[in-house]
Structure 1
Amino acid sequence: MWMSYLGPQMHVNLASAPLLEQVMRQEGKYPVRNDMELWKEHRDQHDLTYGPFTTEGHHWYQLRQALNQRLLKPAEAALYTDAFNEVIDDFMTRLDQLRAESASGNQVSDMAQLFYYFALEAICYILFEKRIGCLQRSIPEDTVTFVRSIGLMFQNSLYATFLPKWTRPVLPFWKRYLDGWNAIFSFGKKLIDEKLEDMEAQLQAAGPDGIQVSGYLHFLL
C-alpha cells in the first residue's frame, strides 16, 4: 500500500488482493465511489438531475433498481440479442469496406477507432432504440458532433480537474468541457424526444391497450 499525489488529489494505492478484499467487505449498504464533482458542477449549472454516476446512497440504489430491470437480468438482456447482431453485421461490413479501401487491400489502419464506433452504435441502439450511423460509410453530421463532443468533454475534464477554479474564465478548457457536455445532452434529448413522438403516435393510433413496450427507452419512459 502506498500514497501518491496527482495535482490536489491524494490517492491511496493498493496492490494486495487481501487488502482489496478487506476494503470491499467494509463497504456499507451502498457503494462509495468517486464523487464525480466535475460532472455534478455541469449538472448544477444547468439544473439537471443527477444520474447513477453522480448520485449516491439510497437515491443511487433507487435509480439502479429501475435501470437494472431491463439490462442486468440475463432473461432481459437476451432480448437485445437481435439488436447486437444487427450492429455486429454492420461492423463486419464496415471492416470489409475499410480493408478493401486500404493501400494493401487487407489492412485497417485504426481498429481502436472502429471499435469505439462499434461500441457507441451498440450502446445507443440499446439505450435509445435507434441507430445513429457510426458504422455508415458517411456518418451523419449530428452523430459526428456527438462523438466529437464526448472526446472534447473527456479531454478538457483533465485540465478542469487539476487547474485552479480561478483559471476557468481565463483559459478555454472549462468552456470546452461544458460545451462538450451540452452537446452530449442535446443529442440524447433529441433521440428521447423522437421516441416520445413515436409513442404518442402509437397511442393515438392504437390506444393505451394497443401499445407494447418495444425496448429499453420505451420501458423507462
Structure 2
Amino acid sequence: MMNQQNTMKKQIASFMSSKLSTARAAHVATAHPVNIRTENSKSLEAIPGPSGIRALPYIGPAFMFRPFGKFRPDKLNLLFQELHQKYGKIVKFRKGSSWAVFLFDPSLIEVAMRHEGRYPKRPSMPLLDTYCKRSGAPPGISQLTGKEWYDVRKPVQDRTMKPHIVAQYLPSQRDVADDMVSTIKSQQLHVDDMSKLLFRYTAESTGLFCFNVRLGFLDHRGCPMTRKQEDMLKSIRQFLALVAQSFYTFPTFKLYPNKMYRTFEKVYGDVQKTGQVYVESMYRELCEKKASGTLDPHEPNLLLALLNDDRLPKEACFRVMSSFFTVATENVAKSLSLSLWLLAKNKDKQEILYQEIISVCGTGKINATSLSHMPYLKACVKEGHRLGFPSPVGSVRIIDKDLQLDGYHIPRGTEVHYGHNVLCHSPEYFDTPKAYIPERWLRDSGNNTNNYLQSFIVMPFGFGTRNCPGRRFAEQQLFLALITLIQSFEISLQDPEEQLSIVYNILATKETPLELNFKQRKK
C-alpha cells in the first residue's frame, strides 16, 4: 500500500510540474534552452552587435563608448536601449579582450537564470579588488565565489531572509521614521533637499539592524548632525561614487595608487573603522552574556546572532555587516527618493495610498500584521523600481557552463548581462510604460497582461541564490518611510511641471535635488 501511495505521489508531482502556463510555455519554447551544442548552433561571434575595436571604451574629455559616444557615462542606460533597438533581443558587446552578451528578452533571461548553478558568479568591483590585493585586506562577500562565498552567505541568509526576524526590528525602525517626520516639522515643513534627509533616515535605520544601535543621524528633536556624523555620511556616498568612477576611467589605479585610489583607500578605511568599533563592542557583549549564562537566542539582534553562529568567523561577520551598512544606506535612500518624487508628481496615486494607510492603521503606528495588508503600498514601490530601475543594465552573471540561447552557443566564462532596465520601459511588456501606474501590479486589476514575463523583468534586488540578502530589511525601510510620511503630510513638488531625469552612478539617482512641499494633514 505504501509503495502504491509513493508511486501515485510521484505521478501527481510529475503531472503538475509539466503543466506550465500557456504564456510561459510559449516563451520558454522560443528560447531554445539546451545546454549542449547542436549542429545548427551559431557561435557567440555570430550574435548581432557592434563589432571589433570600435566597441571598446576609450578615455577622452569624457568617457564614452564607440560608436555610441553621444551617451554620457551616467546615462549609459540609453546606450543599452539603443543596442536593443538596433540589434534585437540578444546582443554581443566587446568588453576588454572578450565578448559580453546582453539579453533583452525575459524568456531568455529566464533560461539563463535557471542554469546559473549552485554557486553563481558575478563580476566584482576592480577598485575594491585592487584595494584588497594592495592592503592585504580579506575580500568582502560580494567578491567571493564558489563554496567560499556560499559558506559566508548561508548563515547570513538563514536570518536576513526570514520575515519574523526582520519584523522584530519594525518598532525601532518605526521610531526612526517618526524622527524623520519630526525633523521635517522642526524645519517648518521646508527641506532644501529631501534626498539628504532620506539619506540620514536610511543610515540611521540601517545602523539598527547592522550594529543594533542608534547612530545619531536622526533624533526626535530634529537636531543637526555633528561633524563626525557628517563625515561618516560623506564617506558612504564617496565610496560608491568612486566605485562608479573606476568603471568609467582607464584603470591606472591597478598600476599605482593614483589620486582616486588614495581617496578610496581613506573613505573605505573610515567606513570599515566605524563598523569594526560596533562589531567588537557586540562581540564583547556576546562573550559576557555567554559567561554569565544570560544569552537569549531569541533576542532581536542580528549582529549578536551572527557573531554567535559557529559557521561565521568574527572577521567575516564584520565584513558582511560593514558591506550591508555601506551599500544599503545609499541604495535604499535613492530608491526612496524616486518613489517620493513619483507620488508627489502623481497626487491621485498618493491619495489612493493615503486612503489605504488610513483604512489599515488609521493615524496610529504600523505593525507587522497591518503591513502585510497593504498591497497598494507595495505596488507603488514596485512601480517606482520599474520606472527608476536601480542599475543602468541589470543583473550580471559569469556563466559556469556552456549555454544555448536563441540558437547561439554561449561558452562557459562569458559575462551575461540581463537587460532589466531596458525591458522595464518596453511597451511590449508594459502598457503605457512611461506612466506611473501602481495598479498594474495589483491582482485582477486589468492592467497586467504579461504577469509571468514581468516577474523576470522588475528584479531590483537581483534573483536566485545570489540575490540581495538584505532585501526584506530594505523593503521594510522603504515601506515604513512612505507610510509615515504620507500618513503625516500631503506631499507635492515645488515645481509641478518638473520632469523626472535619472542618472546612474552605479545606482539610479534623481539628477536634480528632491524639492518637495509638505502640508501637514489634519488628524
What band does the TM-score fall into relative to the shorter chain? Answer: 0.7 to 0.9
Q: How many residues align?
A: 212
Residue of structure 1 aligned with 2:214, choices 131, 139, 142: 131
Residues 19-34 of structure 1: pairs in structure 2 closer than 5 A:
19-34=108-123
Gaps of 5+ in 1: 101-105
- Write the deviation string for residues 155-185 of structure 1: whole angstroms up to 9, x where unpaired: 2234434223268657411100111111110
- Write the deviation string for residues 11-66 of structure 1: whole angstroms up to 9, x where unpaired: 54332212221221221212221222321222233332223211111121111111
- The structure that has the greater radius of gyration is 2
Which residue does 1:103 correspond to in 2? none
- TM-score, normalization by structure 2: 0.37
Query: Aligned AA for 2:271?
Result: I
Query: Aligned AA for 2:279?
Result: I
- Which range moved further: 173-182 or 162-171? 162-171
TM-superposed CA distance for 1:97, in Å, is 1.9
Q: Cα–Cα, structure 1 residues 67 and 198, in superposed 2: closer, same or farther, change >3 Å?
A: same
- Partner of 2:160, secondary structure, is coil
CA distance in 1, matches of 2:177, 2:235: 24
TM-superposed CA distance for 1:5, in Å, is 4.8
Checking the alignment, whether the CA contact within 8 Å between 1:149 and 1:184 is kept in structure 2 is: yes
Residue of structure 2 aligned with 1:35, choices 120, 124, 138: 124
Residues 169-188 of structure 1: pairs in structure 2 closer than 5 A:
169=256, 171-188=258-275
CA distance in 2, matches of 1:169, 1:49: 20
RMSD: 2.6
1:147 and 2:233 aligned: yes
1:121 and 2:204 aligned: yes
- Write the deviation string for residues 102-132 of structure 1: whole angstroms up to 9, x where unpaired: xxxx332212122122111111111100111
- Partner of 2:181, secondary structure, is helix
Checking the alignment, whether the CA contact within 8 Å between 2:184 and 2:190 is kept in structure 1 is: no
Which residue does 1:163 correspond to in 2? 250
- TM-score, normalization by structure 1: 0.82
Q: Cα–Cα, structure 1 residues 158 and 168, in superposed 2: closer, same or farther, change >3 Å?
A: farther
Which residue does 1:56 correspond to in 2? 145
Query: Aligned AA for 2:177?
Result: I
Which residue does 2:168 correspond to in 1? 79
Residues 84-123 of structure 1: pairs in structure 2 closer than 5 A:
84-98=173-187, 100=188, 106-123=189-206
Query: Aligned AA for 2:274?
Result: F
- Which range moved further: 149-158 or 182-191? 149-158
- Which range moved further: 144-153 or 156-165? 156-165
CA distance in 1, matches of 2:254, 2:145: 29
Checking the alignment, whether the CA contact within 8 Å between 1:2 and 1:12 is kept in structure 2 is: no
Query: Aligned AA for 1:116?
Result: F
- Partner of 1:187, secondary structure, is helix
Which residue does 1:218 correspond to in 2? 304
Gaps of 5+ in 2: 1-47, 60-93, 308-523
**Structure showing the higher helix proportion among its residues:** 1
Q: Cα–Cα, structure 1 residues 35 and 216, in superposed 2: closer, same or farther, change >3 Å?
A: same
